Structure 1
Amino acid sequence: MTKTDDAPKQDEKSAIDHLREEMANYMGARLDRAAETVGQKVTDLTGRLTDVTENGGELPGIGSRLLQGESPVRALVSEKAKSAASGVADKVKDAFGGGGGGKPGGPKVTNMIEVLDVGVPLRVAYDKWTQYEDFSGFAKGVQSVSTEDDATTTWKTKVGPSTRSFEATIQEQIPDDRIVWTSDGSKGTTQGAVSFHELAPNLTRIVLVVEYYPSGFFEKTGNLWRAQGRRLRLDFKNFQRHVTLTDEEVEGWRGEIRDGEVVRTHEEAMEEEEGGEDGEETGDETEPAADETGADEDAEEVEEEDGSEGR
């Protein structure tokens, strides 16, 4: 073999040796840096331990691990893992019952306020709202509604994957004015009020205010994403469409409820309305009769005067 053939092999060997040397230098630098970092941590820890010894106090987590025989590196890794786990636990606690929003440890609350204007008279808007069993026809979040009595209804609703049933009790109901209710179910409770305001003869403003207290894992998860608020907003708009575009006349519940008790039934309210209308009609009929009688009397007096003058 000639010298010319040996030259490429020597150059290749030299390049490999140089690469190995550079790799060794790199790994050495990384190890030195790691050792320096750990050394600094240990130095800081030594200072903290000295401070505890001289001034009294509680040993930090790493210090207690070192006293139990763990190596400085392992103690640092263990404390970092513990800190990360604690952070995750705090986030879960905040999400499902603890911290932030309301009283410490208290239930999460979703506050919902919606305002809509509908192009119908005040009475029409109110009457159609009281037809609760019709809600399942236009509200996608309502599966069914059954009326137990004048103040109590049972609702079956759905928000995303969560289905829940609850019983609603009307606490106050004033015709053409407002309805205030509370509800209780296995997955949450609510307090709500809806009020009706006449803006013009054919324009009514409806204000809806609801506080929702979720209960259970899935309900609280939905609460984080405000799923209930979005569902309520969409169904409220569906009511706006329903009441504006539906020409069908309905007879709403015209009774009155105060403090959860019916103080005037629907039948009593309708009788009072009909009685008032009858009274107005009767008054209109009697007034012309009185005028006619008066006119006849005046005519007789005129005739008597004419007869007297003639005689």
Structure 2
Amino acid sequence: MRATLPTLAALTAGGLLLSNRMRHRHDPELFYDGHADGHLHGQHHTGTLLAAAAAVALGGMLLSNRRRAGRHGYSLSTVEESIDLDVPVRTAYNQWTQFEEFPRFMASVQEVRQIDDTHLHWKAVVAGKTKEWDAEITEQIPDERIAWRSTSGPMNSGVVTFHRLGENRTRVMMQMDYRPESLAEKVGDAVGGVKVTAKGNLQRFKELVESRGAETGGWRGTVGQH
């Protein structure tokens, strides 16, 4: 399986920097600052080595992701996060069904428009660029789970599940599969940016629900798995 151009570019850049560093490791003009006292001048070399290491590391992470590519030839990444809320499971679930309120706690989401019971249109900033896509709810069971998949635009799918821990205690678990597209998205994915964003979104959802103590609405319909 061939590596992507960004992967090759990162690996090549790191290799060239390391190769150049090794060729000049004995060159006194590169090691000394030219003064009579012969002080070592190593900041340039430290910076070069760090840049080389970063490039090689990035290339390695991108290559690792590439090797996880699915049958369609592109890489899928997965993020899993969970959080415990001090509210009943019904409250947590009902609030999550209010899709158009997602921008209130999802940092990068600008708008979610609900077309009907099972179809949504999303608008969000992804790696600094505004993107839009359509999604459908593929399964929905009150107080248990909501699953979705995109039908246009950036590929993503996942499920959010709700677990009763007590009368006023609920665990919300989210799993999402997605396909980074641009180099910026692949870099963000490689360094765990999506995981950090997901964790922050769940934390803000917790704060939103717990501060109110009740949901702002709720849809109790069921969608069969498809």
Q: Is residue 93 of structure 2 the alignment partner of residue 119 of structure 1?
A: no
SS of the residue 2:179 aligns to: strand
Q: Deviations over 1:109-162 (max 9, x none)?
A: 221111111000111000000001111122212111100110011111124413
Relative contact order higher in (CA < 8 Å, ≥ 6 apart): 2
Q: Which residue of 2 aligns with 1:199?
A: 165
| C-alpha contact (below 8 Å) 1:99/1:105 kept by paired residues | no
Between the aligned partners of 2:117 and 2:71, the Cα distance in structure 1 is 38
User: Where do residues 239-278 of structure 1 align in structure 2 (5 Å cutoff)?
Assistant: 239-260=205-226
Work out which of the residue numbers 167, 181, 184 in structure 2 matches 1:218: 184
SS of the residue 2:163 aligns to: strand
SS of the residue 1:107 aligns to: coil
Instruction: Name stretches of at least 5 consecutive residues in structure 2 with no aligned partner.
Output: 1-54
SS of the residue 1:256 aligns to: coil
SS of the residue 1:231 aligns to: helix
Between the aligned partners of 1:94 and 1:228, the Cα distance in structure 2 is 15
More helix by share: 1
Shift of 1:92: 5.8
Shift of 1:208: 0.8
Between the aligned partners of 1:224 and 1:209, the Cα distance in structure 2 is 17
User: Where do residues 86-97 of structure 1 align in structure 2 (5 Å cutoff)?
Assistant: 95=62
| C-alpha contact (below 8 Å) 2:115/2:121 kept by paired residues | yes
Q: Which residue of 2 aligns with 1:34?
A: none
Shift of 1:258: 0.9
Between the aligned partners of 1:211 and 1:189, the Cα distance in structure 2 is 8
Q: How many residue pairs are counted as aligned between the two chains? A: 171
Work out which of the residue numbers 198, 212, 215 in structure 2 matches 1:232: 198
Instruction: Name stretches of at least 5 consecutive residues in structure 1 with no aligned partner.
Output: 1-87, 261-311
| Code of the aligned partner of 1:148 | I
SS of the residue 1:171 aligns to: strand
| Code of the aligned partner of 1:135 | F
Between the aligned partners of 1:105 and 1:154, the Cα distance in structure 2 is 25
TM-score by length of 2: 0.67
Work out which of the residue numbers 128, 147, 157 in structure 2 matches 1:161: 128
| Code of the aligned partner of 2:202 | F
Between structure 1 and structure 2, the one with the greater Rg is 1
Shift of 1:170: 0.5
SS of the residue 1:234 aligns to: helix
| Code of the aligned partner of 1:247 | G
Between the aligned partners of 1:134 and 1:248, the Cα distance in structure 2 is 14
| TM-aligned CA distance change 1:195 to 1:202, over 3 Å | same
| C-alpha contact (below 8 Å) 1:175/1:255 kept by paired residues | yes
Greater Cα offset, 244-253 or 196-205: 244-253
Between the aligned partners of 1:105 and 1:254, the Cα distance in structure 2 is 36
Q: Which residue of 2 aligns with 1:145?
A: 112
Q: Which residue of 1 aligns with 2:24?
A: none
Q: Which residue of 1 aligns with 2:142?
A: 175
Between the aligned partners of 2:120 and 2:93, the Cα distance in structure 1 is 17
Q: Deviations over 1:240-264 (max 9, x none)?
A: 111111235433011110135xxxx
SS of the residue 1:258 aligns to: coil
Shift of 1:93: 9.5
| TM-aligned CA distance change 1:172 to 1:103, over 3 Å | closer
| Code of the aligned partner of 2:171 | R
Between the aligned partners of 1:94 and 1:118, the Cα distance in structure 2 is 34
Indicate the percent of aligned positions where both proteins have the same amino acid: 32
Q: Which residue of 1 aligns with 2:23?
A: none
Shift of 1:94: 7.3
| C-alpha contact (below 8 Å) 1:156/1:165 kept by paired residues | yes
| Code of the aligned partner of 1:239 | F
